[in-house]
Amino acid sequence: MDFNTKYTPQTWPEHPEQVTLEGKNKFLGFWLFLGGETVLFASLFATYLALKNKGPSGMEYSTQTLFELPLVFVMTMLLLTSSLTSVYAMYHMKNHNFKGMQTWMAITVLLGLGFLCLEIYEFNHYVHIGFTYGQSAFSSAFFTLVGTHGIHVVIGLVWIILLILRNAKRGFSLYNAPKYYTASLYWHFIDVVWVFIFTVVYLMGVVG
Amino acid sequence: MSSIAKKKGFGASVWDYLTTVDHKKIAILYLAAGGLFFVIGGIEAMLIRIQLAKPDNDFVSAGLFNEIITMHGTTMIFLAAMPILFGFMNAVMPLQIGARDVAFPFLNALGFWLFLFGGIFLNLSWFMGGAPDAGWTSYASLSLASPGHGIDFYALGLQISGAGTYIGGINFLVTIINMRAPGMTYMRMPLMTWTTFVASALILFAFPPLTIGLFFLILDRMFGANFFDHTMGGNTIIWEHLFWIFGHPEVYILILPAFGIFSEIFALFSRKRLFGYSSMVFATVLIGFLGFMVWAHHMFTVGLGPTANAIFAVATMAIAVPTGMKIFNWLLTIWGGSIKVTVPMLYALGFIPSFVAGGVTGVMQAAAPLDYQLHDSYFIVAHFHYVIVGGVVLAILAALHLYWPLMFNQMLSEKLGKWTFWFFFIGFHMTFFIQHFLGLMGMPRRVFTFRADQGWDLFNLISSIGAVFMAIGVIILVINIIITVAKNVPVGNDPWEDGRTLEWAIPQPVPFYNFKQTPLVRGLDTFWIEKQEGNKEGMTYAEPISDIHMPNNSFIPFVMTVGLFVAAFGALYNGEKTWAVPVLVLGLAITLLSMAVRSLKDDHGYHIHKEDLMNEKGGK
Ligand code: HEM
Ligand SMILES: [Cu+2]
């Protein structure tokens, strides 16, 4: 099976990301990597819950006074939608529609960027009102958990943008199909983590 | 590209090793680097025993003593034992499963360089203002208060080398799942492969908590966070949990491959199928699973409460059951076998009583009320050295002799090997057996000296003399290696004559593509089966000779690692030197750019053509 073989929609395999051995390895390796990432975030969540609202005596900041659900709701919607658009991209990959895939990947990037801007705005706001990184154990745990997710978003965006640009003129091959596939897996993972952040940090913070 | 047997100059060989992605060469790199760190850690151990040889000694100061014990423990676990085991896994596992390479050759190289540079970074602390001094466990209550940069070296160095280990773990897992030869079902995999598999799974799930713990430490010490500072609402117990959620699986990451090595040895030199193969596999998986359920047995005295202590005590004792299964299986493998007492077999025979002793003290410590007495005493020191030296280090020494012919096509001297064994074995028991009693007599661990009227003089002296014996054993080993390499007598195929598994069926020296034709595995101990049936080639083939696809060498792993190495210095001096942040950014940029180059530049590898394969009679 050669990497440079050109395919038509008729000959394009059912699971292009898993035809070559390299593709199979990448596919499995990436799933395993996400398993480790899950433990990574689990550790961050556990620490956040232990340090939630903890600070020097008389601290005025708490989840109730800080968080604004409407903003976070918009962020959640942007990210959830971007997960959906990346599914569309994969759908087009299976159907050997290169332009469709690139377009939906680009839309995914735009939605992700929107999310990122709002997050930067949010962090900036907190720092402005004095809730800085070193203000308390709570602030450290909050920024580290949500910030680690944010860094994942940045990495995901850079990765997908590079993929789109690098392959713009090349069309599909069995060499780049696994790359697109793992990038979209990563993007879903980021989305799932955000769902937990939204629930555990923001919803349970304001309501619970 | 496919011409193999060119004589290379020195520079070309260095370049070859800097860029190699061949698992056999990476194995040699792991072995060499791990061996070097083993010697450094050993020298630190000798310094500890010199200081403790007599009461009121002032050979080293209290502060320096703390640095030495910290670096000894950290070096031995992260930079010696684990990398050396990784070396053997790399050398043996792909050959055992009939694979031409690992799943991610590039990442394999990256993992090695990360480990090496992390280790170098850690050890640079000696020359740059002092080593870490809060113990290998680096409890936050101690480490936050530690002055200087020692702890920063610890946290950043382990972060880099830990990333390497994590990558290596994923690589091994995918290799074993995806790249087994036809016929190599899971229940035909040799135990060395099985234990590599389970240990890699432990790495996958145990290292992330350590990564997070270390990040918290880095952020607290260098970037103004407050995770562990209780005046700011932080909680130092979080570190202990994260560390031991990693730490206990870590001891199984070390011991499981050791179990694998000994399983191979017992079967090979008893010339018998491993007794209870399926129960061995079951026990390995069960130990791996239970290994995650017991971390709080290191924290019995923290005050988690009687319920938590009881649960963790029972879970800990449960681990003794699968471990005991293994011991009995090994004994029954030897039973009635036609035993050949070679050097590896000597180590294996010595391992059983030593490790059982360590297991027994482990179960004692698992009884939470008793642990209140034993905790932080020399009894603990005796326990973990019985399992780590009596288990892991004996396995490493055994594997060194066992796999030397496979890795270098030479045989280490059996005679010198036996001298090493006896010196090391006697020295080991002399050093550590007596420490049980020192512990029971009340000597705390991690003290830099004791007084003459405490009654601990004699036992400490005996312990120190034992350490000298071990050192002599290691020196004989080094001499053995030098002589063997200098003589360079090739040993040829199936050097132990009774090889049972695929790795021994390959013509020596092992060709860089491992298998000219992918083998067909016909059962457990497939090479043994072929030999019994009189197959001269030792293998049945699953395919005709055809082109082989190989990965290209790459310098990028090295550059990526150097980037992180540079970045670590930036982080270390953050807020202290003006150049810190630019250096941090520069280092990260180097790493990210080389990552981008890697992903943007297509690298399809190359092919060795069928005709070239036909011309070469099996290798170099
Ligand atoms: C039957 C199996 C085992 C049991 C029941 C067991 C139990 C324990 C317990 C309860 C402790 C904590 C003692 C204390 O600090 O108060 C301990 C410490 C330790 N064990 Fe084990 N253990 C077992 C096997 C192993 C193995 C296989 C290894 C390594 C290869 C190992 C390495 C260690 C180390 C390094 C420590 C000390 C950590 C430190 O505080 O620095 N153990 N063990
Ligand atoms: Cu433990």
The stretch B264-290 carries a mean pLDDT of 96
Q: What is the mean pLDDT of residues B185-213?
A: 97
Res. B107 pLDDT band, cuts 50 70 90: very high
Q: What is the rounded CA–CA span in Å between residue B505 and residue B525?
A: 11
Q: Is the dihedral of CA B539, B274, B204, B119 positive or negative?
A: negative
- Point out the residue among B170, B215, B232 whose CB comes nearest to the CB of A29: B170
Question: How many other C-beta atoms can be found within 10 angstroms of the C-beta atom of residue B582?
Answer: 11
Is residue B505 within 8 Å of residue B539, measured between CB atoms?
yes
User: Model confidence at B588, in pLDDT bands (50, 70, 90)?
Assistant: very high
Residue A1 has pLDDT above 60, yes or no: no
State pLDDT tens for residues B75-102.
Answer: 999 999 999 999 999 999 999 999 999 9
Average pLDDT value for residue range B152-171: 96
Residue B619 confidence (pLDDT)? 40
Q: Is the pLDDT of residue B286 over 50?
A: yes
Per-residue b or e along B181-197, where b marks 16 or more CB atoms closer than 10 Å to that residue's CB: bebbeeebbbbbbbbbb
Report d(CA A118, CA A20) in Å as an integer: 40
Write the pLDDT tens digit of every residue in B394-407: 999 999 999 999 99
Mean pLDDT of chain A: 93
- In whole angstroms, give the CA distance from residue B82 to residue B93: 15
Contact B174 A141 (CB under 8 A): no
Is residue B7 over pLDDT 80? no
- Whose tokens are 């940045």? That residue is A154
The pLDDT-based confidence of B6 (bands split at 50, 70, 90) is low
d(CA B388, ligand 1 centre) in Å: 9
Nearest to A32 among B204, B231, B235 (CB): B204
Asked whether residue A16 is assigned to any structural domain, the reply reads no
B433 reaches A (C-beta below 8 A): no
Closest chain A CA to residue B240? A47
- Whether B618 has a pLDDT exceeding 80, the answer reads no
pLDDT above 70: percentage of residues in chain B: 98
Mean pLDDT of B430-453: 96
Specify whether the CB–CB gap between B31 and B25 falls below 8 A: no
Nearest CA in chain A to B550: A22
Token pair recorded at residue A43: 């550790």
Chain A from 111 to 150: CB within 8 A of any B CB = 133-134, 136-141, 144
- Residue A98 inside a domain? The answer is yes
pLDDT of residue B3: 40
**B543: which DSSP letter?**
S
Q: Residue B528 CA to chain centroid, in angstroms? A: 29
Q: Do A144 and B104 touch (CB under 8 A)?
A: no
Cβ contact B233–A59 (<8 Å): yes
State yes or no: pLDDT of A82 exceeds 50: yes
Predicted confidence band of residue B620 (pLDDT cuts 50, 70, 90): very low
Please check whether residue B602 touches A, CB under 8 A.
Answer: yes
pLDDT value at A27 more than 50: yes
Q: What pLDDT digit, counting tens, does each position of B34-47 carry? A: 999 999 999 999 99
The stretch B376-389 carries a mean pLDDT of 97
**Which residues span the domain enclosing A83?**
40-52+66-206
Q: If you average pLDDT over residues A75-98, what whole number do you get?
A: 94
In a domain, A139, yes or no: yes
Task: List, as one string, the DSSP characters of A23-62.
Answer: HHHHHHHHHHHHHHHHHHHHHHHHHHHHHTT--STT----
B371 CA: nearest ligand 1 atom = 16
Whether A173 is covered by a domain: the verdict is yes
Q: Quick one: what percent of chain B has pLDDT higher than 90?
A: 88
Q: Which pLDDT score, from 0 to 100, does residue B4 have?
A: 45
Residue A7 has pLDDT above 90, yes or no: no
B170 and chain A: CB distance < 8 Å anywhere?
A: yes
At B508 the pLDDT is 85
- Tell me the average pLDDT across B60-89: 97
- Is B204's CB within 8 Å of A56's CB? no
Q: Which residues of B273-286 are buried (b: 16+ CB within 10 A; e: fewer)?
A: ebbbbeebbebbbb
Number of domains in chain A: 1
Instruction: Specify if A11 maps to a domain.
Output: no
Domain assignment present for residue A171? The answer is yes
Which CATH number goes with the domain that contains A175? 1.20.120.80
**Average pLDDT of chain B to the nearest whole number:** 94
Amino acid letter, B40: I
> What is the topology classification, in CATH, of domain B10-544?
Cytochrome C Oxidase; Chain A (1.20.210)
- Give A89-122 as a DSSP string: HHHHHHTT-HHHHHHHHHHHHHHHHHHHHHHHHH
Helix ranges (DSSP H) in A129-173: 137-167
The stretch B330-359 carries a mean pLDDT of 96
Cβ burial of B482 (10 Å; 0-12, 13-18, 19+) is exposed
Give nearest CA residue, ligand 1 atom 35.
B384
Residue B405 preceded by cis peptide, ω within 30: no
> Is A33 part of a structural domain of the chain?
no
Q: Given an 8 Å threshold on Cβ–Cβ distance, is B178 in contact with A141?
A: no
Q: How confident is the model at residue B64 (pLDDT cuts 50, 70, 90)?
A: very high
Domain extent listing, chain B: 10-544, 555-620
Q: What is the pLDDT of residues B507-547, one digit of tens each?
A: 888 999 999 899 999 999 999 999 999 888 888 898 888 88
Residue B2 has what pLDDT?
37
Closest listed residue to residue B279, CA positions, set B246, B316, B321, B232: B321
d(CA B316, CA B365): 9
* B175-202: average pLDDT: 96
Alpha-carbon dihedral sign for residues B92, B97, B101, B105: negative
